Chain A
Amino acid sequence: MSRVRTSRLILCLLVSLIFSACAPNILMTPDLAIVQSADFSLSGIIDYEGNAEYLPRTVSAESHPRSPLTLRYQYGVTYGRDAVHQALPLFNPLTIIGFPIGANTVVVSAKLDVLKESSLIKTYTAVCVLDKHRTIFSEGETLSELRRRGLLAVRDNIETQMYGDRDLLFKLVGN
């Protein structure tokens, strides 16, 4: 009976080890509870060249070409990998039970500058660090998927920061 319990315990540990390795760890700075900010948006000239999906939805393009407000959004993505040699897992007997065989990291940083007539009035930044572990059974999400997840996370974070500052922003923009 005791052996059955021990076997079950080991099986549970192995399954949890395998599944925990599949899901990426996400660390967000600043760490905020995301709020939906559908009713708030700042209009101006948008200075951004990338995919529109990654642009915070709290900024919108001003139809007036001589708007005093410029909203400059930039992001950067850095890829990293553990320094463990690819052959090492071949010599690790725990590999076959789902022990991690490597790790990848994607760091996404974003910055939104709010400029009024060329002078900077407010800056918002967010950084998202995503890392995943690979096992012999699963590679987990690809780096492209992690990048996308990170870009959406920093977008949502900046939206939340802007929403929290909405009164201040309207005041700054209005003056």
Chain B
Amino acid sequence: MNTFWWTNVNSLLIFSFLFITGCATLGPDYSKVDKIPDNSGLVYLYRPSSLMGGGVSYDVKTGDTVITTLRSGGYYPYFSAPGEKEFWAQTESKSSVTLDVKAGQTYYIKGEVGVGFIVGRPQLMVVAPEIAEKEIVNTKLIPAP
């Protein structure tokens, strides 16, 4: 009886932790960036809210630099230097996309969580602006790391 009770409490604590970390600290609703700095391109990283892998968050990087920790329902605007840039994320497997960033241009990278063997896997995808602009409006700003 006692063991059964402890097992349930432990499960509840683990679930609560995952639930809370998954929903942690998102900022204001989406608003479009007004001005892109000179000699930069704008890359929106966003992840529509979803129950699937909602408790899983992952760092999105370019090179070795962490841009943001992508959480369910969040977005982050990143100003990138022009050129060929790889954006990647990894849990039990790696996902990456590469963009040819041009100054003054806007790009959208959508993150999702796919089925994994042990933990959900990041799925990054370059999305066309006409689709991304409809999806990103329901997200909230992820605070700067």
Contacts and interface: CB of A to CB of B under 8 A. Distances in A.
Contact of A102 (B52, B94, B114): B114
Interface string B103-119: 00000000011111100
B93 interface: yes
A89 B120 CA distance: 12
Interface residues of B, number: 24
B121 to A, nearest CB: 7
B125 interface: yes
A83 interface: no
A83 to B, nearest CB: 12
B95 interface: yes
A86 B114 contact: yes
Contacts of B53: 86
B115 A90 contact: yes
Contacts of B50: 86
A89 B52 CA distance: 12
Nearest to A75: B100
Interface stretch (A36-44, A122-130, A141-149): A141-149
A138 B126 CA distance: 21
A143 B95 contact: yes
A106 to B, nearest CB: 9
B49 interface: no
A79 interface: yes
A142 B95 contact: yes
Interface in A97-147: 101-102, 134, 136-139, 142-145, 147
B115 A136 contact: yes
A8 interface: no
A143 B97 contact: yes
A102 to B, nearest CB: 6
B88 interface: yes
A101 B116 CA distance: 10
B88 A142 contact: yes
A137 B117 contact: yes
B126 A139 contact: no
A148 B93 CA distance: 19
The winner among A95, A102, A143 for most chain B CB atoms within 10 A is A143
Contact of A89 (B88, B115, B123, B126): B115
B115 A139 contact: no
Query: Which 3 A-B residue pairs are closest in the complex by CB-CB distance?
Result: A144-B96, A139-B93, A142-B96
10 contacts: A50-B100, A77-B100, A79-B125, A81-B125, A86-B114, A86-B115, A136-B115, A136-B116, A136-B117, A142-B94
